[in-house]
């Protein structure tokens, strides 16, 4: 999986593409968490529409658990996916149950709204 982290005005944009593996997902979370801490960012938009693979329900659960480890409710995550990837909200529900505010959506407007931001023009 390829990820690119870009600080934007008021949030960290993470673009994910290519093939997905659980190990890549965990590594990406560590990078994102570190970059948020370094920059003092409290909002993250993950654009996962470039991922080739469908992430299984079990992988979503494990990814949410990894996201919750060491995270605080002070960082909000909006995860933007392709409509066909919106099969279940396992990642969102698991993370929220562990105190991490996460929304998974296929709508850019919903993603930016969850972060309290206006979508770019």
pLDDT in tens, the chain (121 residues): 899 999 999 999 999 999 888 889 889 988 998 999 999 999 999 999 998 867 777 777 777 777 778 665 588 999 998 887 766 676 667 776 777 888 889 999 999 999 999 998 7
What's the pLDDT at 91?
Answer: 67
If DSSP codes are grouped into helix, strand and coil, which group holds residue 21? coil
DSSP output for 74-93:
TSEEEEE--GGG-S--HHHH
What's the pLDDT at 72?
Answer: 58
Entry pTM: 0.86
Task: Classify 2-114 by CATH class.
Answer: alpha beta
How many angstroms separate the CA atoms of 90 and 60, rounded? 6
Two tokens, residue 31: 């990078």
């Amino acid at each position: 999986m390829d990820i690119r982290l870009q600080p934007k005005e008021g949030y960290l944009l993470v673009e994910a593409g290519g093939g997905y593996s659980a190990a890549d997902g965990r590594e990406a979370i560590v990078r994102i968490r570190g970059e948020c801490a370094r920059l003092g960012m409290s909002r993250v938009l993950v654009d996962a529409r470039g991922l080739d693979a469908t992430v299984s329900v079990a992988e979503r659960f494990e990814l949410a658990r990894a996201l919750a480890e060491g995270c605080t409710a002070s960082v909000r995550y909006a995860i933007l996916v392709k409509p066909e990837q919106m099969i279940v909200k396992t990642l969102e529900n698991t993370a929220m149950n562990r105190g991490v505010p996460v929304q998974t959506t296929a709508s850019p407007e919903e993603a930016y709204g969850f972060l309290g931001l206006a979508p770019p023009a």
